[in-house]
Amino acid sequence: MKKFLTLFCFALIFFACDRFEHTFEPDIDPPEAHINAFPVLGYVPLEVTFTDSSQAGTNLIISWEWDFNNDGTIDSLIQNPIYTYTEVGEFYAKLTVSDGELTSLDSILISVLEEGAPIADFSFDPTEGYVPLEVIFTDESQQGTNPIISWEWDFDDNGSIDSYEQNPTYTYTEVGDYTIKLTVSDGNLNSSITKTISVYGQNVLVELTTSLTCVNCPYVETALHNLKQQYGNRLSYVEYHINDELDIGNLDIFAYYGMSVLPTSITQGTEMIVGGSATSQDELDAIIAPIFEETPLVQFYDFNATLEADTLNGSVLLSVDASVPPDDLYLKFTLIENENTNYLNAAHEYPLNVVIAKGELSISAHNFEDPVEFALSGLSDLPDDITLVIWVQTLADPYSSDTCKIYNVTEKAIE
């Protein structure tokens, strides 16, 4: 009887899959420029070593253009140059990288000081966290010939001075990566330094059931890939393949959510979209974008994972809001292959974010003062490009879109 039901379910999936023909243009991801430099401030003449830490997109980076003093002139074409500043001032060194078609730009502030000027520096705690995030800033500047008499803080890189205190406190109320700038002065000479802070919010997970033979599934697969490029690690998505060569036994997911058609996506465990079309990206974005503005009820800290032999061991410290019901509360974890190059989907593209292992652990009775430890065993012949995705979700039985919410999600590349 069980075998009959399984075959019936496969047949239902096959015939329910929308079979209209369509074509897809391949996505070309641009490179992402990023500069490291040392030192970023000091007395004239100042020799600075620049290191390219850019990330390639779809194609390899083939050119580097450096403008060290922001005058519009290319000063170097080598990947990791050294440059000596011979004049006092603040210079935004710029790097433009290219793969031959697409480019990306990054810049970094270099402060070149007159001998005897103060040297700006500061620390802050915490160095990252979830919104709303209260941060304590501590001035660690060194005086030059004369004592420092003024401090100017710009916490969000908007050009406005947010505080004149030496050691201020500031609360970030919106999600984002912020550049902090401190300028110190002795009344005659000054110097500035910038650092960055990341403020996190509610992350979003989309679970997609799909199949290599499903003609309309690539609409949603492409939409999720595009949204992932837009939102970065704030958005995670996983592909559960059904009844194809990449199916690791995913009918339990399909059945739990009460799905009957491929493709079907479910966002944050509650918002389901059935089918795929040219409007899939807009439909998904309309659901995803507002969730980013919510305050996360679960926060992740000290997320670690190690791969030993055929077992992946992980641990994470959870902060769970008191409003989260403890009943049927689970930590779920999936290992995904970032790109599978062994098979093609119906649009003749390689599948992305394919689930290759999955598990769950009840945390209803867990003491959240201690880390949650979990494991995925029986792993063998793993691909090189894998990512671990974990989330906290209520898994009531039977499923209800009113209660089976995902409270937050995070991911980590496994090397």
User: Which of 174, 200, 226 is the C-terminal boundary of a domain?
Assistant: 200
| Strand arrangement, sheet containing 35-38 | 35-38, 46-52, 82-85
Query: Are residues 89 and 120 located together in one domain of the fold?
Result: no
- Poorest-confidence range of 14-18, 103-107, 378-382? 14-18
Query: Are residues 110 and 120 located together in one domain of the fold?
Result: no
Question: What is the C-alpha to C-alpha distance for residues 229 and 32, in angstroms, rounded to an integer?
Answer: 11
CATH number at residue 234: 2.60.40.10
Q: What does the pLDDT look like over 184-196, one tens digit per residue?
A: 999 999 999 999 9
Q: Is the pLDDT of residue 8 over 80?
A: no
For residues 341-355, average pLDDT: 97
Is residue 403 included in any domain, yes or no?
yes
* Three-state DSSP class for residue 207: strand
Query: Are residues 99 and 132 located together in one domain of the fold?
Result: no
Mean pLDDT of all residues belonging to the chain: 92
* pLDDT value for 17: 54
User: Which of 172, 200, 228 is the C-terminal boundary of a domain?
Assistant: 200
Query: Which of 347, 340, 350, 344 has the alpha carbon at shortest distance from 386?
Result: 340
26 vs 136, residue with greater confidence: 136
Residue 295: band (very low, low, confident or very high) from pLDDT cuts 50, 70, 90: confident
Strands 63-67 and 169-172: unpaired
Is residue 7 included in any domain, yes or no?
no
Question: What is the C-alpha to C-alpha distance for residues 245 and 256, in angstroms, rounded to an integer?
Answer: 22
* pLDDT value for 237: 98
Is residue 5 included in any domain, yes or no?
no
> What's the number of domains the chain is made of?
3
| Strand arrangement, sheet containing 169-172 | 122-125, 133-139, 169-172
Is residue 3 included in any domain, yes or no?
no
User: Which of 175, 200, 225 is the C-terminal boundary of a domain?
Assistant: 200
CA 236 remoteness from chain centre: 8
Query: Which of 382, 373, 392, 374 has the alpha carbon at shortest distance from 414?
Result: 382
Burial bucket for residue 377 (CB in 10 Å: 0-12, 13-18, 19+): exposed
Query: Are residues 257 and 388 located together in one domain of the fold?
Result: yes
Backbone phi and psi for residue 258, each to the nearest 5 degrees, phi listed first? 70, 35
Q: Is the pLDDT of residue 19 over 80?
A: no
Sign (positive or negative) of CA dihedral 312, 317, 321, 326? positive
Backbone phi and psi for residue 147, each to the nearest 5 degrees, phi listed first? -65, 150
> What token pair was written down for 58?
């779809």
Is residue 8 included in any domain, yes or no?
no
Query: Are residues 369 and 234 located together in one domain of the fold?
Result: yes
For residues 157-169, average pLDDT: 96
Percent residues over pLDDT 90 in the chain = 85
Query: Are residues 207 and 311 located together in one domain of the fold?
Result: yes
Query: Which of 259, 298, 295 has the alpha carbon at shortest distance from 409?
Result: 298
Query: Are residues 165 and 124 located together in one domain of the fold?
Result: yes
* pLDDT value for 232: 87
Question: What is the C-alpha to C-alpha distance for residues 240 and 245, in angstroms, rounded to an integer?
Answer: 12
- Poorest-confidence range of 6-20, 35-49, 125-139? 6-20
Question: What is the C-alpha to C-alpha distance for residues 262 and 240, in angstroms, rounded to an integer?
Answer: 11
Query: Are residues 211 and 182 located together in one domain of the fold?
Result: no
* pLDDT value for 14: 44
Query: Are residues 220 and 366 located together in one domain of the fold?
Result: yes
* Three-state DSSP class for residue 103: strand
Q: What does the pLDDT look like over 302-331, one tens digit per residue?
A: 999 999 989 999 999 999 999 999 999 999
* Residue appearing with tokens 């974005």: 285
Residue 18: band (very low, low, confident or very high) from pLDDT cuts 50, 70, 90: very low
According to DSSP, residue 99 is labeled S
For residues 132-147, average pLDDT: 96
Query: Are residues 247 and 384 located together in one domain of the fold?
Result: yes
Query: Are residues 26 and 134 located together in one domain of the fold?
Result: no
Is residue 6 included in any domain, yes or no?
no
What separation in angstroms does the CA of 126 have from each of 11, 138, 269? Answer: 54, 11, 31
Query: Are residues 185 and 302 located together in one domain of the fold?
Result: no
Q: Which amino acid is at 131?
A: V
For residues 113-135, average pLDDT: 93
Burial bucket for residue 219 (CB in 10 Å: 0-12, 13-18, 19+): buried
* pLDDT value for 170: 97
Q: 49: which strand partners? A: 38, 82
* pLDDT value for 7: 44
pTM above 0.75, yes or no: no
Question: What is the C-alpha to C-alpha distance for residues 411 and 415, in angstroms, rounded to an integer?
Answer: 13
- Poorest-confidence range of 21-30, 156-165, 229-238? 21-30
Range of the domain at 298: 203-414
Question: What is the C-alpha to C-alpha distance for residues 394 and 328, in angstroms, rounded to an integer?
Answer: 5
Percent residues over pLDDT 70 in the chain = 93
Contacts of residue 4, defined as CB under 8 A and 6 or more positions apart, other chains included, come to: none
Is residue 284 included in any domain, yes or no?
yes
Is residue 58 included in any domain, yes or no?
yes
* pLDDT value for 24: 46
Residue 27: band (very low, low, confident or very high) from pLDDT cuts 50, 70, 90: low
